[in-house]
Amino acid sequence: MRYWWVNHKQTFRHEFGGKYIWSPKTKRDGSINPFYETMRDVAPGDVVFSYAGGVIRGFGIATTHCYTSPRPDEFGHIGVAWDEIGWRVDVNFVGIGPPLRPADHMQALAPVLPRRYSPIRPDGHGNQGVYLAEITRSMALLLGQLIGPEVLRIVQDIRTQEEPEIVDTELRGIDEWEEAETRRILEARTLTETTRKALIKARVGQGLFRRNLSNFENHCRITGVSYLPHLIASHIKPWRESTNEERLHGENGLLLTPSIDHLFGRGFISFEDNGELLISDVAHKESVRGMGLDIDHATHVGGFSSGQKMFMAHHRRAVFLQAGSSG
């Protein structure tokens, strides 16, 4: 379990009520923001403290890893300068009462503030420019003591048998995004019926996309399985993020067994251009090993075409769950 502090600012009402946190992927000039990159390190079960307007208003348990998602429509004019596509983590937020004002407790909090990238200044007010910052267990425990026994129990990771295990299975942002893209395709008057069907089938790795992919791939790079009925045609740059041309492009894909497709599609693994396998730090290592991956030694799966390298750079940059990853 890790502990996080989110400075919502103007987006508090939307994020807290909607039970998620969302950030752009980069700054306005395209450079990396370390407080957006931290989104890629959050894992289900992590505790997130919610800060806005000078007070901690609640806390939540992360229910998903980070995933790519459009800027929420409910933000409206807030953040119009941000990119349309960003990072999202679903968090089961709940309010606390009364809110906790850190500025009133700085004598106790000062010794446990992160030495680097603290979400609040020494006077207890929010640190401008910091969106999501990791805090120490000591700081989380102190916050739990100040807020109340329920929060302290969760920070201490004392779960009751009745509490369900956090499982990252439902990604609301992705489901809504793909449904919206499907509607857009169906309503596009410039597309022929044949093209519409091909694009929609490509969403599940079938039809023209799969046939185009077969010109470049004939087996799973990880497992070696070559029996086509056991392989999924998986987009490298996700279908939802791709242009219509990219959705059908044969080099925008790999043939993968179902378990490897899951790991690749959710960003738990990726590949360097030379074929070196990358495994995310947030991946559940025993599960990954059980799926047939060697997590103790370097694995190379062969090189990629120039087009695949282009799409793989996007995967490392925008899908792979590794803060500061290459690409």
pLDDT of residue 327: 42
pLDDT at 165: 55
Distance of CA 308 to the CA centre of its chain: 22
* Core vs surface per residue 78-109: b (16+ CB within 10 A) or e: ebeebeebbbbbbbebeebeebbebeeebeeb
Look at residue 162 in the predicted model and tell me its pLDDT: 47
Q: How far is CA 247 from CA 91, 204, 222, 240, 312, in A?
A: 30, 11, 23, 8, 14
pLDDT recorded at residue 166? 57
Contact 127, 120 (CB under 8 A): yes
Whether the CB-CB separation of 106 and 84 falls below 8 Å is answered with no
The confidence score (pLDDT) of residue 159 equals 56
pLDDT at residue 231, as a whole number: 96
- pLDDT beneath 70: ranges in the chain: 76, 78-83, 158-169, 323-327
Displacement of CA 271 from its chain's centroid (Å): 17
In order of their start, the domains of the chain are: 3-155 (3.10.590.10), 174-318 (no CATH)
pLDDT of residue 81: 58
Asked if 264 and 234 touch (Cβ cutoff 8 Å), the reply is yes
- The pLDDT tens digits of the residues spanning 255-266 come to 999 999 999 999
Question: What does the alpha-carbon distance between residue 274 and residue 296 come to, in Å, rounded to a whole number?
Answer: 19
The 3 state secondary structure assigned to 117-136 is CCCECCCCCECCCCCEEEEC
Structure confidence at residue 35 (pLDDT): 86
